[in-house]
Amino acid sequence: MRLRALLIMMCLAISMIPIGIISGFEGFQIATVFLGLILAITFIVSLVMTYFISRPLEKLTKNIDEISKGNLDVELEKSEIFEINTLTESLNRVMTSLKLAIHKVGVKKAEIFEETLKAKEEAEEKYQDLLDNIDDWAWETDAKGVYIACSAKVAETLGYKPEEVIGKSVFELMPSGEAKKVETAFKDASKKQEPIHQLENYYIHKDGTKICVFTNAVPVFDKEGNFQGYRGIHKNVTTHIQSERKIEELIQKNKRLREMRIKAPHVFDELDGIEEKLTDAEDNLEEKRSEDEFDYMFLFDEKANIVDCSENIDKKLGYKKDEMLLLNLADFDLIENKGDIEEKIKQIKKHGSVRLKTIHKRKNGSSVLVTENIEYLKDKHMFRCAVKKDSC
């Protein structure tokens, strides 16, 4: 509520006091005669009071806004109100001290604010570059499941621009039956504040076609630990799912044919060639699943020190096993510093597992975008990280 409205309401409320007194001594009918006059006078007086109180505060707010932009030469106007003058004088002293400190270190005022803005812009550009280079649709929602951030990759997945998706609920872009199922899963995960891992769900493309995605997300919290929503990635697996289901259908047909062949072998002699093809399809599917699991693995403790790793890690990162055992996770993670990793470890211990994207630095200085699947091994007090190179 604005200060002006609050003061007017307080004055009008106070005006009821004389009305009550008059009503007590002279009766309610006489009190009502004075009601309109008293309210009118009180309203006019309250407007004058609020003007003299709120006007200086509004000017002071604008001056502070100018100071925050780097203008330390703002002249703060004096007010007829003692308390506001006291606040203005305190602010003047702060500005004088700041100017003196700037003068001592020999830095121009503009440079301080320019460097701050430049650093902020560079950080935002790096974050946006990372989002643009990820081959999947990155997003963030509020606690109700409404998109508040969205990468440009949504256009490749659903045909929408990011600004068309931001502000919409996750469930608005789904078929009605799918929306109810996913909404139930989302609310359940939100209550428990758990990560969402490999959730298969369907969206409607802008052209009306049905798109299947795998959703992986982690809960987002503010500084006080309050749940704010989810941040994650939607991976378009429509083609993969269709191909896998066709192969699964072939596998099931193959099994039925085998059963029938046992019952009547003489009838199915001519189908030997078909059976061989189906067997090959089944073997290829199993082989592909194994390859898709991960490229390399490593174990790390609660301080993010590497304690073990897979034998093939030198082919992926260039480090030999004995070299990896001397490293900390922060030594080859290009995105997260030690503080970020410590916070991530706390979240993994709390939720049990997490899936996220990051960039690993190879021994030769090059980098690779990867997906980490990290699981907390409670009985060993360690963390297992299975890493898959991300295709982008």
| Residues 194 and 219 sit within 8 Å (Cβ to Cβ) | yes
Q: Count up the domains in the chain and report the number.
A: 4
* pLDDT at site 363: 93
Q: Where are the beta strands (DSSP E) in 253-352?
A: 296-300, 306-309
Tokens representing 304 are 């993010």
Range of the domain at 181: 119-236
Share of the chain above pLDDT 70, in %: 63
* pLDDT at site 102: 63
Lowest mean pLDDT among 15-24, 211-220, 279-288, 325-334: 279-288
* pLDDT at site 266: 59
Q: Are residues 125 and 229 in the same domain?
A: yes
- Answer yes or no: is 111 within a domain: no
pLDDT-based confidence at residue 265 (cuts at 50, 70, 90): low
Q: Are residues 272 and 170 in the same domain?
A: no
Tokens representing 101 are 């400190």
Q: Are residues 301 and 288 in the same domain?
A: no
CA 221, CA 391: separation in Å to the nearest integer?
29
**How confident is the model over 34-45, as a mean pLDDT?**
68
Q: Are residues 342 and 375 in the same domain?
A: yes
CA 147, CA 368: separation in Å to the nearest integer?
28
Q: Are residues 140 and 230 in the same domain?
A: yes
Lowest mean pLDDT among 40-49, 163-172, 268-277, 331-340: 268-277
Residue 330: in which H helix or E strand, if any?
helix 329-332
What CATH number does the domain containing 213 carry? 3.30.450.20
Lowest mean pLDDT among 110-114, 175-179, 321-325, 355-359: 110-114
**How confident is the model over 308-328, as a mean pLDDT?**
92
Q: Which amino acid is at 337?
A: N
Share of the chain above pLDDT 90, in %: 26
Length of the chain: 392
Q: Are residues 130 and 232 in the same domain?
A: yes
- For helices 82-105 and 109-133, the axis angle rounded to 10 degrees is 80
Concatenating the DSSP letter of every residue in 167-183 gives TSBGGGGS-HHHHHHHH
Mean pLDDT across the chain? 77
CA-based torsion, 383, 388, 389, 390: positive or negative: negative
- 354 or 390, which is more confident: 354
pTM of the full structure: 0.38
pLDDT-based confidence at residue 16 (cuts at 50, 70, 90): low
- 111 or 228, which is more confident: 228
- Answer yes or no: is 45 within a domain: yes
CA 381, CA 327: separation in Å to the nearest integer?
18
CA 3, CA 377: separation in Å to the nearest integer?
55
CA angle 360, 362, 363 (to 5 degrees): 145
- Answer yes or no: is 114 within a domain: no
pLDDT of residue 10 exceeding 90, the answer is: no
* pLDDT at site 253: 74
Lowest mean pLDDT among 5-14, 238-247, 347-356: 5-14
CA 189, CA 219: separation in Å to the nearest integer?
9
pLDDT of residue 356 exceeding 70, the answer is: yes
Q: Where are the beta strands (DSSP E) in 45-174?
A: 137-142, 147-150
Sequence-distant (6+) residues with CB within 8 A of 165 are 139, 147, 150, 154, 158, 173
* pLDDT at site 23: 60
Q: Which of 356, 329, 353 is nearest to 341 (CA)?
A: 329
**How confident is the model over 331-348, as a mean pLDDT?**
89
pLDDT of residue 287 exceeding 60, the answer is: no
* pLDDT at site 268: 53
* pLDDT at site 337: 86
Q: Are residues 221 and 324 in the same domain?
A: no
Q: Is 306 helix (H, G, I), strand (E, B) or coil?
A: strand
Greatest mean pLDDT among 10-19, 20-29, 131-140, 370-379: 370-379
pLDDT of residue 296 exceeding 80, the answer is: yes
* pLDDT at site 172: 92
* pLDDT at site 44: 74
| Residues 246 and 252 sit within 8 Å (Cβ to Cβ) | no
Q: Which of 241, 232, 245, 168 is nearest to 210 (CA)?
A: 241
Greatest pairwise CA separation for the chain in angstroms: 116
DSSP 8-class letter at 265: G
Q: Are residues 98 and 132 in the same domain?
A: no
Q: Are residues 86 and 133 in the same domain?
A: no
Domain boundary among 219, 236, 253: 236
**How confident is the model over 162-180, as a mean pLDDT?**
91
CA 350, CA 218: separation in Å to the nearest integer?
12
Query: For residue range 117-162, what is the model confidence (pLDDT) as tens digits?
Result: 566 666 566 656 655 667 788 899 999 999 998 888 889 899 999 9
**How confident is the model over 279-299, as a mean pLDDT?**
62
**How confident is the model over 317-333, as a mean pLDDT?**
93
- Answer yes or no: is 112 within a domain: no
